[in-house]
Amino acid sequence: MKPEITTQHTADSRGEAPPGKTVWHATHVLRKLPDEFGLLIILIGFGVVLSILSPYFLTLGNFVNVIITMSSTGIVAVGMTYVMLSGGIDLSVGSTMALAATVAATFSKEGVPLAGVILIALGIGIVIGLVNGIAITKLRVPPLITTLAMLSVARGLQLIYSRAVTVTGLGDDLDSLGRASILGIPIPIILLVSIYAIASISLSRTAFGRSIYAVGGNERAAEIVGIQVNQVKISVYVISAVLAAFGGLILVGRLGSAPTIMGTGLELDVIAAVVIGGTSLAGGKGGVWGTLIGVAILGLIQNTLNLLNVSPYYTQLVQGIVIFVAVAIDMNRRRKSV
């Protein structure tokens, strides 16, 4: 027999636990490990396989490049995590990023200081988030339809504003947001880690974070205990749009321009990362650190395919398969928990 693990001492000779004592088998211990532990193992496994496929993978320069490249997506994914934890979804993040970043880029080109450019972009994000949240809570339009409509509206506004022309010649301040370093650490990486740390504390150690989980887990029960459900929902859509706008600023700074096609398909990348990271499509379960690992897995796959000179079309194929598998696992997990 395999030895048993107990909280203080083993069971007596009859195999019964002493009164008030709990006998844990090794399987119980494994179940207590956080979901992120399993995802981390998967990430390491991906790293091993990818290092075999490409000799250029295990280099410091490549790792830094991967993190910087995924920084914008990673930041937007934080906002999507908030929304999905509440039981919603936001398909407008890509268009929100494009509109906010394009408008901000034009002001930067005109010499507006970085602080002003950031405020302009975040202001656009706040407006879009409020419109989404109010339409969902007050008008009772489903999140899928509301944000799908906003996807088209924001993209149309971006094309009208820019006249479908890429904005170039940005100010040095905005460029520095995506390219400069502090003590040798690229600013996008610093911002990425900082935002995840703040989001983690917000979700795990504040009343607002607990309210989000409660709304996603059981909206009716959340109302009964006094949680302002509508306020929570509006807040998460504002957070999502603001982080999409901020992620756009970093992307524009890194590229040195605001392409008209920026953000296209971003919502799929972000949703895939969040679902892979263990956040349930039904809401109420998950967290940002799992999302970060999901972003890293997708980033590593894309990076390795690039190193192997594989067509970007295959990246879409692999991503679609990964999304399907992640959703299937999530649905199977939910059925077993019922």
pLDDT in tens, 149-167: 999 999 999 999 999 999 9
- Whole-number pLDDT of residue 1: 44
- Whole-number pLDDT of residue 307: 74
205 has pLDDT over 90 = yes
The model's confidence at residue 56, banded by pLDDT at 50, 70 and 90, is low
Neighbours of 237 (CB within 10 A): 30
- Whole-number pLDDT of residue 206: 96
7 has pLDDT over 50 = no
- The rounded distance, in Å, linking the Cα atoms of 319 and 331 is 18
For residue 186, list its beta bridge partners. 181
Determine the angle formed by the axes of helices 143-162 and 93-109, rounding to 10 degrees: 30
DSSP 303-338: HHHHHTT--HHHHHHHHHHHHHHHHHHHHHHHHHH-
* Percent of residues, the chain, with pLDDT higher than 90: 56
> Residues 102-145: pLDDT tens digits?
999 999 999 899 999 999 999 999 999 999 999 999 999 999 99
- Whole-number pLDDT of residue 330: 67
- Whole-number pLDDT of residue 63: 76
- Whole-number pLDDT of residue 37: 62
> Residues 289-303: pLDDT tens digits?
999 988 988 888 887
Which DSSP state fits 284?
Answer: S
Task: Please enumerate in sequence order all residues whose Cβ is within 8 A of that of 306, keeping only pairs 6 or more positions apart, or say none.
Answer: none
- Whole-number pLDDT of residue 69: 87
The model's confidence at residue 35, banded by pLDDT at 50, 70 and 90, is low
> Residues 224-273: pLDDT tens digits?
999 999 999 999 999 999 999 999 999 999 999 999 999 998 998 899 89
Please report the domains of the chain, with CATH numbers, ordered by start residue: 1-32 (no CATH), 33-337 (1.10.3470)
3-state secondary structure of 110: coil
Structure token digits, residue 170: 């940005």
Query: Cβ(286)–Cβ(84) under 8 Å?
Result: yes
33 has pLDDT over 80 = no
- Whole-number pLDDT of residue 333: 66
The model's confidence at residue 18, banded by pLDDT at 50, 70 and 90, is very low
The model's confidence at residue 55, banded by pLDDT at 50, 70 and 90, is low
Higher pLDDT, 209 or 326: 209
Stretch 86-110: mean pLDDT, rounded?
95
The phi, psi pair for 167, rounded to 5°, reads -85, 125
Stretch 83-108: mean pLDDT, rounded?
96
Higher pLDDT, 75 or 314: 75
